[in-house]
Amino acid sequence: MLERTPKSPPKIEPLSLNVSRPKWSVMIPSYNCIHYLRKTIESVLLQAPSAEEMQIEVIDDFSTDGDVEALVNEIGKGRVGFYKQTRNVGSLRNFETCINRSIGTLVHILHGDDLVKPGFYEEIDALFKSYPEIGAAFTGCTDFDENDKEIWDSKIILPEPGIIDNWLLKIAQGQLLQTPCIVVKRTVYEHLGSFFGVHYGEDWEMWTRIAAHYPVAYSPKPLAFYRVHNNNITSNSFRTGQNIKDISAVIDTIQNYLPIKERKKLKRKAREKYAYYITMIADGLYHNNTDSKPALLQTAKAVRLHPSKHTLYYFLKISVKVLIRYKAKHQRK
């Protein structure tokens, strides 16, 4: 039985030369997100070219929240493929299955709760045509909640479409994109392998690994949606503190991809940026959850990750609020 969390990048085998290949493979990993999956599939079908040009397939990680295959068949009407794991293998192995089952030259991993806007594939196609030397291309992205309400847009990296200069040094300092907005050449995955090591931050490690070996292109148009909600790996890791353990491991791994003279500085910046991000998350956790422990845990770990006046302030702030039961008093009013 394969390890649930591979310790090194799993190998992606090249396809046989006699396989008839489309340009696109849109691979949709799903796990217990059936109430979002319909919109995800529909967002692809609204702009999908023919089956000869685009493979679309849902890869289900043994979901228990409904009949995913029936939903796929209803929406896809034969246009969307379906594969179900024989047991729950976890997100990393499910991503690996997605890539191995892809037959297109360009692979788009689109989570079963995320969306793409009309024009996404046209914009990505234009980037690959304009810059054939790139290994991956991505667009701007908008975070939205479980009710499809837009929360915020991703940071604009370039004002116009193009290849990002010094992308490796930029992405090594912190995550700057979400998975639904990026498309990767299958040959890149064949060269570098699949996702590994952690279940939170594994995408950041992958995009940095790609940046260390290939130029990457970008368009500022916000053409993908990343869903923020309370029932996914990210949210669960915030509650347990696993996010900080994983991100620390990712930061250490990323150092291997950097020029030796840049490593110390970029590692410090990465830890500083993520510690700041954690304190912002912790503040929201405290006020939006009945249990205050996750918020206190996050701020305590933020101090360990990067001790500073900022992280210490938030740790003390939330500690005092917990001590005086600040939230409980205000909720009674």
Q: What is the 3-state secondary structure (H, E, C) of 208-228?
A: HHHHCCCCEEEEEEEEEEEEC
- Domain residue extents for the chain: 24-227, 259-324
Which pLDDT score is estimated for 328?
Answer: 44
Which pLDDT score is estimated for 97?
Answer: 98
Helix ranges, 144-185 (H): 167-171
Q: Give me the residues paired with residue 184 across strands.
A: 107, 136
Give the position of tokens 């999908």: 48
Query: pTM to 2 decimals?
Result: 0.93
Strands 115-116 and 150-153: unpaired
- Mean per-residue pLDDT for 265-289? 87
Share of the chain above pLDDT 90, in %: 82
Which of these ranges, 21-30, 36-45, 127-136, 271-280, has the smallest mean pLDDT?
A: 271-280
Cα Rg of the chain, angstroms: 20
Range 24-227 has CATH code 3.90.550.10 = yes
By residue count, the chain amounts to 333
Which pLDDT score is estimated for 248?
Answer: 96
Alpha-carbon distances, residue 42 vs 61, 86, 154, 308 (angstroms): 20, 26, 23, 46
Closest by alpha carbon to 107, among 42, 199, 12, 10? 12
Give the alpha-carbon dihedral of 189, 190, 192, 197, to 10 degrees: 70
Neighbouring C-beta atoms of residue 179, cutoff 10 Å: 22
Give the position of tokens 């037959």: 103
Q: What pLDDT, in 10s, does the model give residues 40-95? A: 999 999 999 999 999 999 999 999 999 999 999 999 999 999 999 999 999 999 99
